[in-house]
Amino acid sequence: MELEDLVSPEGVIAHLKVTSKKQALQELSARAAALTGLSERTVFETLLERERLGSTGVGQGIAIPHGKLTELTRLYGLFARLETPIGFESVDDQPVDLVFLLLAPETAGADHLKALARISRLLRNPAVVEKLRASDDPAALFAILTEPVATHAA
């Protein structure tokens, strides 16, 4: 599974101005609603429900909020580079500045997990993360997210 199957250029936000985790999830829910045709409230409530199970702040300034919605027919991804890092109750207690939102159909068991693993692998790559933090152009961010990454180190 490639990230270009999940995220479109319209799903990349280069300067998200938020001051809290809740506000970040609200803004991303609004963007996701526009892309998916779902209600913003439905998306937001799904993300909040998932966060109650444990923070999706995975550490090193990265969060991967995600949820499953019965109304979806395919996976959707959104990426946001936050203008200012925010508290996200991350596993390492570090503020978050890169957020990758993943929404999946209720029936997408293995595909949902594969997509989460793919996103996680990409965002654990220090070179990719450095490029994402250094760019503030949506097209460049999209290119970084979707460029093929070598799976074997030389």
Q: Are 36 and 72 in contact (CB under 8 A)?
A: yes
17: number of Cβ within 10 Å: 11
Q: What would the two tokens of residue 77 be?
A: 């991804």
> For the chain, where are the E strands, in sequence order?
7-16, 57-59, 62-63, 66-69, 76-86, 96-105
Is 66 an annotated catalytic residue? yes
Q: Which of 15, 66, 112, 152 is catalytic?
A: 66
Query: Can you tell me the distance from the alpha carbon of 31 to that of 153, in angstroms, rounded to the nearest whole number?
Result: 36
Catalytic residues: 66
